[in-house]
Amino acid sequence: MPPVSLAALHKGARGLVAAVRNDSQSLGDEAQSTVSRRLLELGFVPGESIEVIEEIWPGGDPMAVRLGNTTFALRRREASAVFVETSER
Amino acid sequence: MTAHAHTLDPMRVALVGVPNSGKTALFNRLTGSRQKVANYAGVTVERKEGAFVGPHRQRLYRVLDLPGAYSLTPTTLDEAITRDFLLGRLADEPAPEFVVCVVDATNLRLNLRLVLELRDLGVPMVVALNMSDLAESRGYRLDHALLERELGVPVVETIAVEHGGDRHLLEKLESLPHPGPRLPAAWSEPSFEQIQRTHREVRRILQAAGYIEPLRQRALSRLDEVVLHPIAGPAILAAVLFFVFQAVFSWAAVPMALIDHAVSWTGGLIRQSLPDGLLRSLLVDGVIGGAGSVLVFLPQILILFLFIIALEDSGYLPRAAYLLDRLMGSVGLSGRAFIPLLSSFACAVPGIMATRTIPNLRDRLATIMIAPLMTCSARLPVYALIIAAFISNRPVGPFNLQGLVLFTLYVAGILAAMAVAYLLKRTALRTAYHPLLLELPEYHWPHVNNLLIGLWERAKVFVRRVGTIILALMIVLWFLSSFPTPPPGATGPPIVYSFAGMLGRALEHVFAPLGFNWQISLALVPGLAAREVVVGALGTVYSLSTSAHDVASTLAPMVAQTWSLATALSLLAWYVFAPQCLSTLVVVKRESNSWRYPLFMVAYLFALAYGASFITYRVASALLG
Amino acid sequence: MLEGLIVAIVVLAASAYAAWALMPVSARLQLARTVAGIAGGPAAPPWLGRLAARLERAALRRGGGQCAACDARPAAPDRRPPAGG
């Protein structure tokens, strides 16, 4: 299965991070590449386990994800830069 | 070296670490009360410096607590300062001679990447594995010697919140040679590929050091499921807030009564021992009536702070920011703005300074402009006085009417803040989208020690302020209210003829449409210096106006008798928006680097306050007859 | 008479303190420096010099945080650490 954008996942989805895209086209402006960089720095690197633990409401913003042993809150727009190889569903 | 090594150059140490690593607690542990806070030259970023001596008193260290940073590539002003300081790029700041990198032992993956980045700078460093007690009890395992070998830098364990928890660090620092001054380090922004390589290196190191990371405790995962739940989450947040406001009234009742009695008793004692005259009036009406009536509110302020500190310590606040992000987003702010805004509930000043964590300038300005609407704790005595005098202590369902009214006042402030933010974001401070990427740190039981120390500090600050500036202002007010003395044959209490009385009467013209009598109008003036002074001023003014002889405890009933409910409500409404105390204006000027913003703030708050008060008074008078 | 004197002293002290505390830091520094200037003059008594020094230190300290609820230092000026550590 091809990797899916984190933004498209819902509560309970799990997997491994496949890539972080530095794609200004999908993400907007220069601010976005800062976000991609920060995501990488925080540990959203290939191979790290990731799970969506909550959403403010299904499909809504923000969402809470568990990356390894750390929890982060982010919105779908930031999440769209992260691609995940999902495992169970 | 010689025995008095600390007459030589002290060693300049920098404390670096990601946010939530306990860096500040370690800084406090090392430096105790020997801290100096100022600003970095030219920018409004707080510079915290402290000093400590090594365990064998051989060496003096000067340590700087740098702002928390996730990486050397900055996204906020704070992080830029940290990086620039480490690289020796800040004007007037020599590069640090030594770095202590504070690392959260329960979150090594996140923290070690920064450690590697720092190591590559080549500055002599030590890694402090903080919260090592917590890590061990949760099941984390790590071979420190191996870690040290893999990293190539010394590693020590610290427990910042425990007495003596810094001793390993101190021993290690003492054992290392003084590195001497350094040239600024070279650094360039790493590429994405390099960042990923660093992460792989981190993983390799952790594996080589035998790192065992337990799964998260089920209880904590469950807790997050509830706390972050779309429905249960906000419900819990509301419940927590209700509980806090309830507690502020009910828990404080007994201590307040005690202080009240003590104050009255002192007043009575003075009245009996001194003959009638100026000195007695100064002491009874000015000092006791003025400062005493403010002192009474100490318990309530402490209870409020108890909850603020506990919530900060526990890790709950970022989760509240998560829950409120949508709400804040609807008015154009990011959920990130919640934490500085919450600090503003204690006092707008640190809340405004906390906006430095907001990367975008306009977002920051918008947050600063609405921070004062978050009811700061200095308004609490005013609210509490009026509520106690006019709102009965009736239960309403599971709540208490007084707590409910207080809650409503706070909510009113928040709603007003949101409305103002909405307007600002639509017009002057329009911004593009701003990302949210917030760490939700692990839950902690609040450290009792921390709590007690925090409360003790607050209590000291409060009593000191009452004993100094508030007392001074009350004495001045007493003077202005007692002179000139009334002409012979005058009717009415002497205060009416004094400077203060004249000023009050003049101001009354301005405030009469709001239902404020001249006493209230007058009291608002010193209230500009510090909000709670309004209560003291009312205390002095009323005490001078009457011949009743039991001061602080009669302020509430006196107010209840002489004001109408409409006036009381109108004053409450005024205070929700009240124009700022001087300290807040000064901070806003510093943080925004111009006078435009504080002036605008005064203007809009005054207008809102006047408007709200006016409407409240008219509506209340009409409804209540 | 004595009573009046005591009251007057207390009121003056309180007014001076309140004025000092409410002044912005720059104004306080000005005042401290003016006193220092006088203290350096020919006819100045020695205690004036010591007072000037204390005033200058006190001017920089927080005293600007009037609000009884917080310990913040809104008036902290930009500081230059002494060069050479």
- The pLDDT tens digits along chain A (89 residues) read 788 999 999 998 999 999 888 765 544 555 667 888 889 999 998 989 999 999 988 888 899 999 988 999 999 888 988 999 988 64
Counting beta carbons within 10 angstroms of the beta carbon of residue B239, is it exposed (0 to 12), middle (13 to 18) or buried (19 or more)?
exposed
Question: Quick check: do C and A touch, 3+ CB pairs under 8 A?
Answer: no
Give pLDDT, residue C13: 92
Place of tokens 């309180």: C14
Q: Which of B107, B110, B212, B339 to mutate to test the interface with A (most CBs of A within 10 A)?
A: B110
Give pLDDT, residue B155: 93
Q: Which of A39, A40, A49, A82 to mutate to test the interface with B (most CBs of B within 10 A)?
A: A40
C72 with B532: Cβ contact below 8 A: no
Give pLDDT, residue C69: 39
B6 touches chain C (CB under 8 A): no
Cβ-based interface (< 8 Å): residues of C facing B: 3-4, 6-7, 10-11, 14-15, 17-18, 21-22, 24, 64-81, 83-85
Closest Cβ opposite residue B279 in set C7, C64, C77: C7
Domain A4-86 has CATH 1.10.357.10: no
The domain spans of chain A are 4-86
Give pLDDT, residue B55: 80
* C32: in domain: yes
- ipTM here: 0.90
pTM recorded for the entire structure = 0.77
C14 with B471: Cβ contact below 8 A: yes
**Residue ranges of chain B with per-residue pLDDT less than 70:** 1-9, 33-35, 37-44, 335-336, 343-346, 350, 375, 428-433, 489-492, 546-554, 579, 625
* C36: in domain: yes
Closest Cβ opposite residue A53 in set B109, B224, B329: B224
Give pLDDT, residue B113: 93
B390 touches chain C (CB under 8 A): no
Q: Which three-class secondary structure state does DSSP give residue C1?
A: coil
Give pLDDT, residue B333: 74
* C12: in domain: no
Q: What is the token pair recorded at B143?
A: 């071979």
List of chains touching A (3+ CB pairs within 8 A): B
**Greater pLDDT, C28 or B268:** B268
Number of domains chain C contains:
1
Place of tokens 């190591």: B119
A45 with B107: Cβ contact below 8 A: no
A60 with B326: Cβ contact below 8 A: yes
Q: Which of C12, C66, C71, C73 to mutate to test the interface with B (most CBs of B within 10 A)?
A: C66
Instruction: State which residues form the domain around C49.
Output: 19-59
Instruction: Please state, in angstroms and rounded to a whole number, the distance separating the CA atoms of residues B132 and B156.
Output: 10
Domains of chain B: 5-208 (3.40.50.300), 302-426 (no CATH), 461-624 (no CATH)
* Residue C3's pLDDT band (cuts 50, 70, 90): confident
Instruction: Please state, in angstroms and rounded to a whole number, the distance separating the CA atoms of residues B468 and B295.
Output: 12
Q: Pairing between strand B35-39 and B46-53?
A: antiparallel
* C43: in domain: yes
Give pLDDT, residue B104: 92
The residue type of B246 is Q
Give pLDDT, residue B546: 67
Residues of C with CB below 8 A from B587's CB? 72, 74
Instruction: Please state, in angstroms and rounded to a whole number, the distance separating the CA atoms of residues B239 and B619.
Output: 30
What mean pLDDT do residues C17-28 have? Answer: 78
Give pLDDT, residue A14: 92
* C76: in domain: no
C18 with B479: Cβ contact below 8 A: no
* HSE, side-chain direction, 13 A CA sphere, residue A2: 1
* C73: in domain: no
- Residues of chain B numbered 116-175 and touching chain C (CB < 8 Å): none
B192 with A61: Cβ contact below 8 A: no
Q: What is the token pair recorded at B312?
A: 């900060």
* C39: in domain: yes
- Residues of chain B numbered 232-261 and touching chain C (CB < 8 Å): none
